[in-house]
Structure 1
Amino acid sequence: MDYQLGPQDVLVVDLWGATQAYFQFEVSPEGTIRPENLSPVYVNGLTIEAASNKIIDRLSQIYSGLKAQGNNPPTIFHQISLGNIRTINVEVVGEVAKPSMYSLPSLSTVYTALHAAGGPTENGTFRKIRVVRNNKLLSTLDIYPYLSSGIRSGDVRLKNGDVIIVEPYSNRIKLDGEIKRPGFFELKNGESFSDLLVYAGGFTSKAFKSTVTVKRNGDREREIIDVDQDGFEDFRLRDGDLIEVSAILDRFSNRVIINGAIYREGEYQLTSDLTLRKLIEKAGGVRGDANMSRITIYRTSDDFSQSVIPVDLEALLRGDVADVMLLREDVVQITSIYDIKEEYYVQVSGEVIEGGVYQFFNGMTVQDLIILSGGLKESASGSMIEIARRNSNRGVNSAADIITLSIDQSLTLDSEDRNQILKPFDQVYIRKSPGYTVQQQVTVEGEAFATGVYTISRKDERISDIIKRAGGLTPYADASGAILIRKTEFSNTKSNNQISQESLQQLRQKVLNEESELKNISQTQLIERLKKLEEKVETDTQNDRVGSKLKKELIQDVSEQDSLMQDVVIKEEEPVAINLPKILDEPGSKYDLIVKEGDVISIPGSLETVRVAGEVTSPLNVRFDQSYSFRNYIERSGGFLVSAKKGRSYIQYPNGERREVKRFLFFKKYPKVQPGSTIFVSKKAEKKPLHLQEILAITSSLATIAFLVDRISN
């Protein structure tokens, strides 16, 4: 180790053997260490090895076993190492990120100091970094060999007071394009483009290496220089040069392409003797679905125009027509018979387990389609099957052929119907049995003796019937506050859409999800055809309930166009105000509604408060008092605010019904208050103050009218 000791360094001396001792000696400002009871030892400027010899010589005056005595070897062994090291002050100046004086460990080198200063700036040199010691040039560094190969050329260990100077760059060029390290580079005098390639890491795999373009600043204008590969070693670069390395052309010199109904589609090498027939053989031959009557070769001319060469594939394979020599960039397209006709399918809907679109097979029967769809539902018992077939007689008044089959009570078809052969595009409808009805439920909640879910037993069953089945009302029920919650006509319902992109996706997914991972070639080709077909078909998301959908759109359209109308919220469930006391007193009357699927009859408990809300001084809940009127509750809440619109006040009863304050001339009739009601006081519309221009315009108009009236009257 060539480290030279100096003041503040600490030496550690460890002795073992006949004597055990441990010492730490700090080098004094005078460059000495002072062992106990011994004279000082001068170690300044010495290496660790040289200082160790002097220290052992001095310690042997006390520890004689440190040295051999005659033929006897030493009995005391030693080890001397460097403990704490001193700190040195080094100044880094010039074009660095943070020029300053730095306190560094005495083992630091020039690279350590440059790292502490943040390295050279954009204008700083990397090729000529100077180290000055005692006002003399000690070393000059070139960082590029370190960055490219890890070699630290010119690096020295620093001493206290050293100065590192980073000057501005003197010769810089820019390298751009297909190069591994594009950017700015600094070159020394005499370095060539080959040297620059080493620093930049070389060309990329896509680089055009035969020639590079150099754009140079001349005395009066710019110039371009093409440098061939043979001249890389000799070409000398100048400050400000821009070197552009372009990419090779994105084209093939010996490629032909074959697509379509072939076993191995793709790109192939064009050899001198490659013909169409040889290319088909190289691609594995044509598939069974190939259109043998015609294939097409698309040929590109030198002027990039395209021409079409039709070939009779069947005659070519028989040898009846001459083979075609292929040229560069020829594209051979072998059309599948399925590319030029509609995809065959059949559809089943209605009372089957899984309706939808299914692949058509030659000889497919109704029974086969029912099995594919998971079988018939129980609701198909005693019904019929209707097959809608595309028009075959081409009559002007004929839209479709209808074939009807019957299903017996055991969900079977007779032998003749079972073997009814289907044709492509048949739509099979499994009708529901006329007497079959799925159970429908309503819910009773609140203050009834037996709350819960009840199944509707008759199509004309009413609220009173359901309440009777629930055991009637409890003594704590508030019949006047009962409410019916009913699904609206806007409830979401799934529909049996027409043939759509979703249906085709469904068919493709059925084929993909088959348990067997080994699919035959027809299924594989079907998957590919359906994938292409999905991209061409527009999605049809028509809802079953067209009337409900249209009504919903009309309501939304009106609310958007009418600026005076508040936003309309389309709900799937809405409350229906009912008069339960009259329903129970007069079962079957006009008040007694027929229940529907999903209805909820909610019966609250007895309510003892009245809520006052809106533009009153203190909105709150007030205890119900039979003797209180509408105005009394307003007064209990502190009275109307200045912003209150008294004539638009209303009351909402527990069953959802609302009644407003009625006016006749100067008289007001307030609605009756019931327990659980909410009194709401509306707010006046905000009035905008008139601007001076508006006042002047109104005054001018009134003056004009007065003038006209006066002239007419005279």
Structure 2
Amino acid sequence: MFRFIARVLCMSLLFISCFTSASVSKPAKVQVGDLIAVFLPGEENLQQDLNVDKQGRITLPEVGTVTVAGLTEAELKALVKEKLGGVFRDLMHLSVYVKETRLLVQVLGYVDKPGQVLLPASAGIQMALAKAGGVRSGAQLDKLQLRRNDSMQEFNYKAYLDSGNESYLPQLRSLDTLFVPASPMIGNIEVEFDAAKMSDAGDAAADRNAVKVFGEVNRPGSFSYKANISLVDLLMRAGGVTRYAGVEQIRVINHNEPNLFNLKQYLDTGDSQLLPALSSGATIFVPRQEEEIKSGANMVYVMGEVFKPGAYEGKEGATFMDILANAGGPTRFAESRQIRIIHANGEVRPFDMAAYTEGLVTQIPDIGAGDAIFVPEKTDMNEKSWLKVAPNRAVRVIGEVVRPGRFEWSDEMNLMDLLAHAGGPKSRADTANIELLIPDGRGNNRTLTFDLDKYIKQGHGESRLPKIKAGTVVRIHDLPQDPSDNKSQWVRQSSDKSIYIMGQVGAPGRYRFNSEMTFLDILAAADGPTDKADIHNIRISHSDKGRPKVTKLDLGLYFETGDQQLLPQITTGDTIYIPEKNRIWLNQTKETTVRVLGAVNRPGRYRFNDSMTLLDLLAEAGGTSSDAYINKITVVNLSCCKDQARSFDLSEFSKTADFAILPVIRNGDTVYVPDRKDSLGYKTRETIGDIFRLVSMASLLGLL
């Protein structure tokens, strides 16, 4: 009984152990391509999904790369927790698990988007190819390769597509490489591959029995030979002949024997007896049609920019328009304003077809047998126009325009059209003085100056524009960038267009002038008066008067009153001179100035007018010095008969402020401020002091 119970227990334990081992599988391990989820509450950096890269690593925030491939999920969590333990203190709620099992596979070769792809764990070959954009036309589907580590397995993907049997396909693992080879039929140069046309165009390149078709056909190549195949069948397989084919001179070589075949004659008659018999290895060549040279007494030749240039038979009553229309008309590159008709007698006649279509020209040229019509190409602004435009049809624009150069001229144009064609004047262009050199038709030129600014401002019509013609030269000068640049303009700047400004200004010199500028504009262009300038005695020498004239200007009075009437009228050619202060004795007589001498800070000669007083004159001289004897200032008046002198007590005046006691000052007078040493009181004090010093010395000597 005991043995029976023991035997039953053993069998039970054996059954349990067997069931347990069968039901418990090995735990899954982390592989390349998997998506690992790491979550730690409160830490934003540890709330993300991490990819296992090709090296089997993940990148942990604050830690770096950690190798996890080959670990179980439990080992993965333990390793991550260990690595994060050195950075984070509380990892009680850390959660680490494999969020998604994926495969990292390389798909290379003849696919649309070769490279690495991430696939679900259950993905197969077809899904990997779909991720890479699918196989391209021309791929060799029966010899796909699966490379794993150092081994390579070749499988027939075409057989799977034909049968749907998945046993033809190998299973994928991470880090596998799937390679799709190209078919050897596509050649070394990649072209658009169409398998349906391979048998109809060059399908027998390596077949010695193939029939070769080349020349003026749309798809030349080697075609497989079939019994009873005709030459027309082969031409159809080659895409037919081109429009340039010489169908009357087709060459056929059978068994090394050349023959000519007239396809046009066969098509006209339908006689199958005309078709040559073809053998394997035959060669068919369709030559290019040779154009027949057309000539004769009734021919008219059309050349240049027309759609169908060539020789046309000029029938009776055919006009210029009829022949041009038969040639397809001018192209979009044609210069229809410069059509030339070359008559048989050598005469050349121009014709402006654009003007004819606009009703400006009413007569079309006559065309006869042997004449030629030449339609030239339109001149491109970017090309060297002198190679295409004759000098008697060109106008030259030089200077400050956007695109200077030679331009083709038409009498329908005017100066504004020409400037617009040249891109217009630049910002520094002197548009008030545009120079034109216009031929007079007798071998000479006449020079004309045009003021474009005035023309636009006054709103004149086109009749006020200068009349120019082919051969004209238009020159536009440039203005100086700043006043210091004026000297570089002197060579080209005429004196009658300039203003001269000299003396005490910041930048004296010659300046370009126009009628819109005033005296203050010129003064500002010269950087204004300097601190040494005598703005009360400016001189302007006018050159536009019949006789010499000089205008005086008190600019200081203008600044005090703002009276515009004080400013003189300035024209080109005038000269402005601003003298220096305190230099009047060099250019002014003594009778027109007042001399201030003696104990003043700046003795000298000064200008004086009736509005000034002695106090103004002393202030002009810098005031009296510290040693001045102001109680007896002497004023010497210059009169017609004899000079007279008066004394003035400045100290007394400062106490009473009685202006009535101020002496009258006139031009030519002299004001003398004596030194304190020259006064009688000073001399008396000095004498008394000397006496006391002598007495003291005598007393001292007596005591000794």
What TM-score, normalized by structure 2, do the two folds share? 0.33
When you count strand as a share of all residues, which structure comes out higher? Answer: 1
Q: Which has the higher contact order (CA 8 A, sep 6+)?
A: 1
Larger Rg: 2
When you count helix as a share of all residues, which structure comes out higher? Answer: 2
